[in-house]
Structure 1
Amino acid sequence: MDDLQLLREMRSDIGSAPQATLARGREEVMAKISPALVSGATTAHANATVSPIRFRRRVVMASAAAAFLVGVIVAADVVLPNRPGATAEAAQVLNNAAAATIQTSDPMVGPGQYLKVETTELTGSGAQAADGSDVNWQETTGGQVYVPADREGEWVWNREERVPLESSSEAAKALATELKQRRAASPQPEGTPLPVGIQRAPGGAFYGNEPTVIIGTPLKDADSLPRDPRALLDIIYERTKGSGKSPEMEAFVAIADGLRTGVVPADLRAALYKAAALITGITVLDKQATVDGRTGIAIGIPSPDGGSRQEIIIDPASGLVIGERAVLQRD
Structure 2
Amino acid sequence: MLLLEQVREIGADEAPVEEDTVRVARQALLREVARAARPDRVRRPHRRAWAGFGIGAVVAGTAVTAIVMGSVVVAPVPDVAAAAVLESAAEVTVGAQDTQLEPGQFLRIETQGEYLQFWDAAWADDDDESTFAFNASRERADAAVLVRDSRVLYVPADRSGDWFFDWGTADVVKSFGDRGAEAAEKFADWPAATGRESGTIQTLPAGEFLAPDGDTPPQPYLADTYRPYYSEMPREPEKLLDWLRARSGMSGVEADRWLVAGLSDPSSINLMPPELRAAFFRAIAMIPGFEVVSVDDDQATLRYVVTGHRTTTIAIDTAHGLVDSIAEGYGTGGVTGDVPESVIRVSTTVVDSAPDPR
Structure with higher helix content: 1
Q: Counterpart in 2 of 1:66? A: none
- Structure 1 residue corresponding to 2:116, chosen from 115, 124, 131: 124
The alpha-carbon distance between structure 1 residues 317 and 212, as it changes in their structure 2 partners (threshold 3 A), is closer
1:155 Cα deviation from its structure 2 partner: 1.0
Partners of 2:174 and 2:291 in 1: how far apart? 34
CA contact (8 A) 2:115 2:148 kept: yes
Once structures 1 and 2 are overlaid, which stretch shifts more, 165-174 or 313-322? 165-174
State how many pairs are aligned: 235
Percent pairwise identity = 25
Q: SS of the residue aligned with 2:190?
A: helix
Q: Deviations over 1:164-213 (max 9, x none)?
A: 12445211221122114x678xxxxxxxx947622221111123212445
Instruction: Show structure 1 runs of 5+ residues with no match.
Output: 1-76, 185-192, 289-293
1:109 aligns with 2:101: yes
CA contact (8 A) 2:162 2:206 kept: yes
- Structure 1 residue corresponding to 2:222, chosen from 205, 210, 217: 210
Matches within 5 A, 1:1-331: 84-126=76-118, 130-132=124-126, 135-168=143-176, 169-180=180-191, 194=196, 197-207=200-210, 208-213=220-225, 218-242=226-250, 246-255=254-263, 257=265, 260=268, 262-288=270-296, 296-305=299-308, 307-328=309-330, 330-331=332-333
Q: TM-score, normalised by structure 1?
A: 0.62
Amino acid at match of 2:311: R
Q: SS of the residue aligned with 2:169?
A: coil
The alpha-carbon distance between structure 1 residues 151 and 167, as it changes in their structure 2 partners (threshold 3 A), is same
Partners of 1:195 and 1:236 in 2: how far apart? 37
Q: Counterpart in 1 of 2:57? A: none
CA contact (8 A) 1:255 1:276 kept: no
Partners of 2:330 and 2:107 in 1: how far apart? 34
Runs of at least 4 residues off by over 6 Å: 77-82
1:83 Cα deviation from its structure 2 partner: 5.4
Amino acid at match of 1:119: T
The alpha-carbon distance between structure 1 residues 255 and 141, as it changes in their structure 2 partners (threshold 3 A), is closer
Q: Rg: which structure is higher? A: 1
Q: SS of the residue aligned with 1:142?
A: strand
Larger relative contact order, structure 1 or 2 (CA cutoff 8 Å, min sep 6) = 2
Once superposed, what is the RMSD of the aligned Cα atoms? 3.1
Instruction: Show structure 2 runs of 5+ residues with no match.
Output: 1-64, 127-132, 137-142, 211-219, 334-358
Q: Counterpart in 1 of 2:17? A: none
